Structure 1
Amino acid sequence: MIVLLPPSETKRDGGTQGSRLNLSKFMFPALTGARQAVVAGLTQISNDSDVARKALGLSAKQQFEVERNRVLETAPVMPSLERYTGVLFDALDAPSMTSGEREFAHSTVLVHSALFGPVGAGDPVPAYRLSHNSKLPGLTLKRHWFTQVTDTLAAVPGLQLDLRSEAYAQLGAASHNSVYLRVVTEGTDGKRVALSHFNKKSKGLFLRALINAGIRHSTVDSLVSWAQSAGFRLEAGAPGELDLVVSSA
């Protein structure tokens, strides 16, 4: 079983002293060439702050993001699950994980980066800024990544639980063994509505509980049964989807 996460726009600063980007340490080495191409395009535009901010949709106050990109090949790195911040990752709280939880997460969780494609939770990444809809010279991220990421994920055996946003799912499809997790609330009439405000936090809390349990579910039925025992309401939704039903309060 693997769990697919979206990345976050926000990143934690710092990293292991003396470390730097080394793509050979990433999962899925077949993607190295594609990763190098995006890194090269991003560092190229970062040499011109105005061009970079326009391509990345940044304001002048976000110039620090351009500076991050300018030095991303020599900046210190840390495990991807600890690099990302924001609502989902704050709820997941990777820095507080035990060694056992961290080991399980590193073998189970993938973060789908616009810069690197899918990376393992333990893969060492620098701080950077690149979104799914960012524009790089001569390179369209969706066209660049889709086939390669789709083929990569298709080769990963077992159940795939897809927690990505729809925007990042467009950068590569999960395998035929995947199920998409949607966070919803249910009205008194039984009608379910997708949530936005509690969506990311609910996914983070659910994944932390899954990591804490340390169970590698091979089927959807196993996952649903565990979720019920762990206090989550996880039920079948639309075809190929699971609904995580939460309170809107």
Structure 2
Amino acid sequence: MKILFSPSETKNSGGEQKSFDKNSLIFGELFDKRLEIINSYNDFIKIASKEELEKLFGTKKADILQKYKTDIFKSSTMKAILRYEGVAYDYLQYANLEKKAQKYIDDNVLIFSNLFGVLKADDEIPDYKLKQGETFDDLKIEKFYSDNFSQALDEYLKDEDVLDLRAGFYEKFYTIKKPYLTMKFIKDGKVVSHFAKAYRGEILKLIAQNSINSFDELMNLEIKSLKVEEIKEQKLKKEIVYSIN
């Protein structure tokens, strides 16, 4: 089973003193296409005005603007699953998992970055800053990755059960073309959005700890504080609606 996951706008600093290359990222044969976006980003941040950087990075803090106005190819790299931090990643607690559960995540989780496109959880990436939905040079980044990486993803996922835990924005990077599963969380009859990130992280942790490999195994997984209210099916998508106790 493969799990599609969102990134986070906040990142952990540091890593190994080595640059990323085609061997650092999934779909090495498409590295040159990925470089088209990354080179454009790198060139843009070198010449962008303060106002342009504030918009691109989503912050006005001078120290952050300075930190990220650096050559991305000279930045240290770190596993994507460790690079990202935020609510979902806090609840996942990857660094505290047993090696077996970590390996499950490394092998089976795909993270959709708004700069790098699709990443495997153990891909090595630098620290970078790009606010969700922002762009540069008038590029349509999500369309670019959808156009250039979808065929490879279709092939990669063709024999797998697919659980889509992405936020809606990242569905633009890849449209799943086979039956797949999603999850929705409600409390007091209302859909929760921000705290849904916590449950996505918690569920991914449980999936990894139990080495879940199919939809059948997932449906039999007990999740504390969540109760299945209904299962909706629409075309290729099957959605489990959980109520939060």
Alignment RMSD: 2.1
Match of 1:216 in 2: 213
Q: Secondary structure at the match of 1:25?
A: coil
Please give the alpha-carbon distance, in whole angstroms, between the structure 2 residues aligned to 1:29 and 1:81: 19
Amino acid of the residue matched to residue 215 of structure 1? I
2:163 to 161, 164, 177: 161
Give the 5 Å matches for 1:160-239: 160-185=162-187, 187=188, 192-217=189-214, 220-225=215-220, 227-228=221-222, 230-231=223-224, 232-234=226-228, 235-239=230-234
Please give the alpha-carbon distance, in whole angstroms, between the structure 2 residues aligned to 1:66 and 1:144: 28
Amino acid of the residue matched to residue 43 of structure 1? N
Q: Are the aligned partners of 1:10 and 1:85 in contact in 2 as well (CA < 8 Å)?
A: yes
Identity among equivalent positions (%) equals 21
TM-score of the superposition, structure 1-length normalised? 0.86
Q: Which runs of 5+ in 2 are unaligned?
A: none
Q: Within the alignment, does 1:247 sit opposite 2:241 as a pair? A: no
Shift of 1:244: 4.7
Match of 1:38 in 2: 37
Change (3 A) 1:19 1:137: same
Equivalences, count: 238
Q: Secondary structure at the match of 1:216?
A: coil
Shift of 1:55: 4.7
Change (3 A) 1:39 1:150: same
Shift of 1:74: 1.2
Q: Are the aligned partners of 2:83 and 2:125 in contact in 1 as well (CA < 8 Å)?
A: yes
Change (3 A) 1:12 1:2: same
Between 7-16 and 166-175, the greater mean CA deviation after superposition: 166-175
Q: Secondary structure at the match of 2:112?
A: strand
Match of 2:124 in 1: 124
Amino acid of the residue matched to residue 109 of structure 1? V
Between 37-46 and 230-239, the greater mean CA deviation after superposition: 230-239
Shift of 1:151: 2.1
Change (3 A) 1:30 1:173: farther
Q: Secondary structure at the match of 1:182?
A: strand
Amino acid of the residue matched to residue 194 of structure 2? H
Q: Within the alignment, does 1:147 sit opposite 2:112 as a pair? A: no
Deviations 1:21-69 (A, max 9, x none): 2232211224312210111111111113426425515232165256325
Change (3 A) 1:32 1:212: same
Q: Which runs of 5+ in 1 are unaligned?
A: none
Q: Secondary structure at the match of 1:119?
A: strand
Q: Are the aligned partners of 1:26 and 1:120 in contact in 2 as well (CA < 8 Å)?
A: yes
